[in-house]
Structures are given as structure tokens and as C-alpha cells.
């Protein structure tokens, strides 16, 4: 059973989310909080598998709450809920450790799929809208180590790549384009199992826990260059 916690200041939103989620046999809403200030304690007390976090709340917003939750419960997996696909807070939430984000206008199937994906240890990186947000995030706040890129060849330096193999760098660059393991496998003509192994090695070598954080690290280090 996937345990989900809701953090949103609007009661009707929480009611709607609960109705959608608890219509599924494998999902239960185990706790709710009405603001960011209560979120960290709620997560510590109830240990949900996934936290659905509204980004814009009075008092402590979802960005600050994400930081507090992950500081107290590092293994928590947070999905940011937002009304705007270009919400500037989302970029910082991803950097803070959120596992992805979802538009509040998403349909019920998309919401449930998102919860299952994140509960399974993956991150919400595949949808086109997330790809857009990641790239906008990188263009605004990424590439903090410009020296990591050779200005002539646009190839990341060995310092940026670290211990990643040539194939792992290739897989990471495809991850940054929002590709799933299956799509990467088709692109590279290898099995999905092989790609899963590469992804696992990438996360370990970069010291991150999921695909979103790996992509953030890739942009920051210069392994991936934001599209113009």
C-alpha cells in the first residue's frame, strides 16, 4: 500500500486529491497538513511514501517546507503541486530535493501514475512539461561551473564528469532530455535492464537519489548544456 500525505491550504483541493487517490486499491492518504509549518512534523510522525506539496501557501510556502521536510526526513519523496508550468519556485524546489512536480490541472490518472512512479523510487522527469521546467531551471540557475565546459568543443571536462564512464555520460545526457529507461534503451540499442544498471551507477557516482537530482547535477556541472 502506498502511503500519501497531502500538504495544501485549500480544503477542497485536499478533498479532491483524497477522493482520487483513495479510489485506488493500492493508495491511501495517511495524513494531511494545511500549511508548510506543519508538514515536517507530519512527515516525521506518519512516514508517508509520497508527499504531495502545494508550492504556494500562506506562511511557510512549499519551497521552504520541502527544505524542512527533507532536512528532518531525508528519505521523503516530495511531489510539488503547482498551478503554473513555469512557476519559478519549482526550479528551487527541484534543487532542494523534490522528486518532481505536477500541475494541479492534471487528470486523476496522471496524479495516480505520478504517485506510483515516485513511490517506486523514480522521479517525475519524463513528461514534456517537466522537461521544459528542468531546462528553464538550468538556463536560469544551472551551469554554475562554466569552467567545466571546453569553450571550443563544448565537451565537459574530466573534473565535471568525475567517475562517470563515457556511456554513463551518454545515458545522463539522454535522461536530461526527459527520456525514460525504455526510450534510452531504444536510442542506444541496448536493453532496458542495461540502462537501469547505468542509471543506478550514475546516481551512486553523483551521490544523488533520483533522476531529477541527477539532471540538476548534470546541468550544474556542465555535463549537459541548456538548450537555447
Q: What is the pLDDT of residue 101?
A: 81
Q: How far is CA 178 from the centre of its chain?
A: 11
Q: CATH code at 215?
A: 3.40.50.2300
Shared domain check, 52 and 101: yes
Shared domain check, 102 and 20: yes
Shared domain check, 116 and 14: yes
Q: What is the mean pLDDT of residues 198-206?
A: 91
Number of domains in the chain: 2
State which residues form the domain around 46. 2-124
Shared domain check, 201 and 112: no
Backbone angles phi, psi at 156, to 5 degrees: -65, 145
Model confidence pLDDT, tens digit, residues 1-46: 999 999 999 999 999 999 999 999 999 999 999 988 899 899 999 9
Task: Quickly tell me which residue has 507530519 as its cell.
Answer: 42
Shared domain check, 24 and 99: yes
Is residue 138 situated within a structural domain?
no
Q: How far is CA 29 from the centre of its chain?
A: 21
Shared domain check, 118 and 6: yes
Shared domain check, 113 and 10: yes
Model confidence pLDDT, tens digit, residues 94-118: 778 888 888 888 899 989 998 998 8
Average pLDDT, the chain: 82
Shared domain check, 108 and 6: yes
Q: Is the pLDDT of residue 90 over 80?
A: no
Is residue 136 situated within a structural domain?
no
Backbone angles phi, psi at 143, to 5 degrees: 50, 50
Shared domain check, 201 and 164: yes
Task: Quickly tell me which residue has 542506444 as its cell.
Answer: 188
Q: What is the mean pLDDT of residues 72-76?
A: 87
Shared domain check, 147 and 120: no
Contacts 24+ apart (CB under 8 A), 74-77: 76/43, 76/48, 76/51, 77/49, 77/50, 77/51, 77/118, 77/119, 77/210
Which residues are CB-contacts of 121 (< 8 A; sequence separation ≥ 6)? 210
Judged by DSSP in three states, 88 sits in helix
Shared domain check, 113 and 16: yes
Shared domain check, 155 and 115: no
Q: Which of 178, 136, 164 is nearest to 223 (CA)?
A: 164
Amino acid at each position: 500500500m502506498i502511503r500519501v500525505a497531502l500538504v495544501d491550504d485549500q480544503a477542497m483541493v485536499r478533498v479532491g486529491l483524497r477522493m482520487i487517490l483513495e479510489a485506488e486499491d493500492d493508495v491511501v492518504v495517511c495524513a494531511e497538513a494545511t500549511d508548510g509549518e506543519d508538514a515536517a512534523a507530519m512527515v516525521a510522525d506518519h512516514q508517508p511514501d509520497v508527499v504531495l506539496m502545494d508550492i504556494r501557501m500562506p506562511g511557510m510556502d512549499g519551497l521552504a517546507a520541502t527544505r524542512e521536510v527533507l532536512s528532518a526526513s531525508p528519505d521523503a519523496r516530495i511531489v510539488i503541486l503547482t498551478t503554473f508550468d513555469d512557476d519559478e519556485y519549482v526550479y528551487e524546489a527541484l534543487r532542494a530535493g523534490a522528486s518532481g512536480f505536477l500541475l494541479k490541472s492534471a487528470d486523476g490518472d496522471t496524479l495516480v501514475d505520478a504517485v506510483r512512479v515516485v513511490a517506486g523510487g523514480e522521479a517525475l522527469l519524463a513528461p514534456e512539461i517537466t522537461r521544459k521546467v528542468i531546462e528553464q531551471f538550468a538556463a536560469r540557475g544551472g551551469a554554475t561551473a562554466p569552467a567545466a565546459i571546453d569553450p571550443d568543443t563544448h565537451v565537459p571536462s574530466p573534473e565535471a564528469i568525475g567517475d562517470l564512464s563515457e556511456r554513463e555520460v551518454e545515458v545522463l545526457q539522454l535522461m536530461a532530455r526527459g527520456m525514460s529507461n525504455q526510450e534510452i534503451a531504444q536510442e542506444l540499442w541496448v536493453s532496458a535492464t542495461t540502462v537501469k544498471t547505468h542509471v543506478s551507477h550514475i546516481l551512486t557516482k553523483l551521490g544523488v537519489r533520483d533522476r531529477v537530482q541527477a539532471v540538476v547535477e548534470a546541468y550544474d556541472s556542465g555535463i549537459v548544456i541548456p538548450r537555447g
